[in-house]
């Protein structure tokens, strides 16, 4: 599991005694407000395994993704001589998106003069800006072969998004929707079980987490998105 670094700093405690309770409350409120205004945005989280509950929520291929306000990206990088690297990133849609972070800061360290095959499993398709970053990466690296496999289409009704997806395909990106087999593969390689503590405080794995158990309408939703993507890329 990724260990997210906590960037938040504890509030400074004043050493001066308060003059009265009203001034104390006002001072604390002002201090709290100032602290909140100065808090930096969330950082990109990077690791090797996603908590099962997070994966099941964020990767669910529903049409309306209410509450799913972050992007999760699982990647496999294959280089010569059988070298394979895996990991994942997530964001909070506050600063850089996971796709942009991967293609501008993570992937470059794996790129060599030889062929590199990259497969990204993403909870939703990229926005216009991220699609542009991916297209630029493909343009700069002619030996890069990219497969982008997404659970949901992000704002696919918007003309700019549709154009960005077509530009990705034209730039050499293999773009498709996740199927049940893809979910099982990601579950096996990128997801870790959630754990509970028993009455004695010992860690116990939640039941039924050995294999991926699809939700009822997974394949139906995947087919729906496949049709939409085919329409966009036509």
Question: Which DSSP category does 69 fall into?
Answer: -
Task: Based on the residue annotation, tell me whether 99 is a catalytic residue of this protein.
Answer: yes
Question: Which DSSP category does 156 fall into?
Answer: T
What separation, in Å, do the N-terminal and C-terminal C-alpha atoms of the chain show? 39
- CA atoms of 33 and 28, how far apart (whole Å): 8
Largest CA distance in the chain: 72
- CA atoms of 43 and 68, how far apart (whole Å): 17
Closest CA to 178 of 50, 60, 70, 86: 60
Closest CA to 178 of 214, 209, 131: 214
Q: Are strands 116-122 and 72-79 parallel, antiparallel or unpaired?
A: antiparallel
Catalytic residue among 46, 90, 99, 100: 99
Residue with tokens 């945005």: 41
- CA atoms of 119 and 129, how far apart (whole Å): 20
Question: Which DSSP category does 173 fall into?
Answer: -
Residues recognised as catalytic: 99
């Amino acid at each position: 599991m990724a260990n997210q670094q906590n960037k938040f700093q504890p509030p400074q405690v004043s050493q001066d005694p308060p003059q009265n309770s009203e001034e104390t409350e006002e001072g604390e409120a002002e201090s709290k407000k100032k602290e909140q205004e100065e808090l930096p945005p969330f950082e990109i989280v990077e690791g090797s395994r996603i908590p099962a509950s997070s994966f099941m929520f964020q990767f669910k291929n529903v049409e309306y993704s209410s509450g799913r306000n972050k992007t999760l990206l699982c990647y496999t990088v294959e280089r010569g001589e059988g070298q394979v690297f895996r990991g994942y990133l997530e964001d909070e849609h506050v600063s850089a998106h996971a796709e942009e972070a991967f293609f501008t800061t993570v992937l470059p360290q794996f790129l060599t003069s030889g062929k590199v095959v990259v497969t990204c499993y993403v909870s939703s398709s990229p926005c216009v800006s991220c699609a542009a970053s991916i297209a630029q990466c493909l343009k700069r690296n002619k030996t890069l072969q990219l497969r982008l496999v997404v659970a949901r289409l992000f704002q696919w009704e918007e003309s700019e998004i549709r154009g960005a997806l077509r530009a990705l395909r034209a730039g050499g990106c293999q773009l498709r929707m996740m199927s049940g087999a893809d979910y099982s593969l990601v579950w096996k390689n990128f997801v870790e079980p959630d754990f509970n503590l028993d009455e004695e405080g010992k860690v116990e794995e939640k039941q039924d987490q050995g294999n991926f158990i699809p939700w009822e309408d997974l394949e139906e939703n995947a087919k729906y998105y496949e049709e939409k993507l085919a329409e966009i890329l036509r």
